[in-house]
Amino acid sequence: MIVIRYLVDTGFFVAFLNEKDTHHEDAQRVFSECLGGRDPKLITTDYVLDEAVTLIRRRTGRHELAVKIIEMINDSDWVELEFVDKEVVKKAVSKYVEFEDKELSFTDWVSAVQIDEMGYGGIISFDSDFDGIGLDRIC
């Protein structure tokens, strides 16, 4: 059996936990329809963890939601945390500099390179900017 692994982006975690996020219901639906009851083999990175914790605290002012993201990623059965290595960062820097017309954040470029380097199926993200660089995007 072939298992396709997907990297999870910041916005998914934030929307999943923040009831006031415009994508909250979509995140809940994607989780239950696509991920619930299976071994989804989802991955995220330390860059996404950092961005998600910072973003949810800034948007909501709720420290406990930031802690929930940390716990979801560190203690989850459905997502594993990968640490980005120096070569991925170097390649992400090159992409960020080369593609100034793209609206991706540096963390997004790190994610895109990680997906490519590791051979993952794509990304679970609400960020349509990923569509412009040829990644398969769920959400």
**What confidence tens digit (pLDDT) does each residue in 93-129 have?**
999 999 999 989 999 999 999 999 999 999 999 999 9
Q: 82: helix, coil or strand? A: strand
Tell me what the mean pLDDT of segment 16-33 comes to: 89
Q: If you average pLDDT over every residue of the chain, what do you get? A: 90
Q: How confident is the model at residue 2 (pLDDT cuts 50, 70, 90)?
A: low
Class of domain 6-131: alpha beta
Which pLDDT score, from 0 to 100, does residue 34 have? 66
Give the domain ranges of the chain: 6-131
8 Å CB contact between 136 and 5: no
How far apart (Å, rounded) are the C-alpha atoms in residues 69 and 47? Answer: 13
pTM (global) more than 0.85: yes
Tell me what the mean pLDDT of segment 36-57 comes to: 85
Alpha carbon distances (Å) from 14 to 36, 104, 116: 18, 17, 24
Which pLDDT score, from 0 to 100, does residue 41 have? 64
Which pLDDT score, from 0 to 100, does residue 82 have? 95
C-alpha torsion angle, residues 65, 67, 68, 69 (rounded to 10): 90
Two structure tokens written together for 94: 């090159």
Of 1, 7, 2, 4, the residue nearest 139 (C-alpha): 7
